[in-house]
Amino acid sequence: MTPRLTIINGPNLNLLGTREPQIYGLTTLAEIEATCRVKAAALSLSLAFHQSNHEGVLVDLIQAAITEADAIIINPAAYSFTSVALIDALKVFPGPIIELHISNIHARDELHRHSITSSAATAVICGLGPFGYVAAMQAAAELLRTR
């Protein structure tokens, strides 16, 4: 059976490429998704790729992944620093969870420095820019193979 990967992107990531390019770069979310689809094929993974600006929709996506995915990669964006609802939903997911941040949150301002959602993650990748998605996919594939 083909391993199933769900990638979930939080608020404002639909604005990648134009939003604070000095922090997030010029790559759009559509370009990231296209790269992820190529990588998923190379890793023999099925891929669902989502983005929402709404916390409840993100919770619904995580809950759906319980039956629809074997691993989650999540870039909770601003909800990384505020969302107990995402933490609670992630804690129910039985497979590997990789939290992803395009920027190095540890080098950012105090508001963007401490992710509370990482307490529910298997691993965290940050600061690699858009390549972080590829790195997270490789890590997810390896975690699924060694389970």
Contacts of 8 (CB under 8 A, 6+ apart): 50, 51, 52, 58, 61, 62, 65, 72, 73, 74, 75, 76
Alpha helices in the chain (DSSP H): 21-24, 29-42, 55-68, 84-92, 131-145
Q: Which of 24, 79, 112, 133 is catalytic?
A: 24
- Residue 132 half-sphere exposure, CB side, CA atoms within 13 Å? 25
Domain boundaries, the chain: 4-145
Instruction: Note if 101 is an active site residue.
Output: yes
Q: In terms of CATH, what superfamily is 4-145?
A: Dehydroquinase, class II (3.40.50.9100)
Q: CA angle at residue 24 from 22 to 30, to 5 degrees?
A: 135
pLDDT of residue 35: 98
Q: Which of 50, 79, 101, 112 is catalytic?
A: 101
Instruction: Note if 24 is an active site residue.
Output: yes
Would you give per-residue pLDDT tens digits along the chain (147 residues)? 899 999 999 999 999 999 999 999 999 999 999 999 999 999 999 999 999 999 999 999 999 999 999 999 999 999 999 999 999 999 999 999 999 999 999 888 887 778 999 999 999 999 999 999 999 999 999 999 998
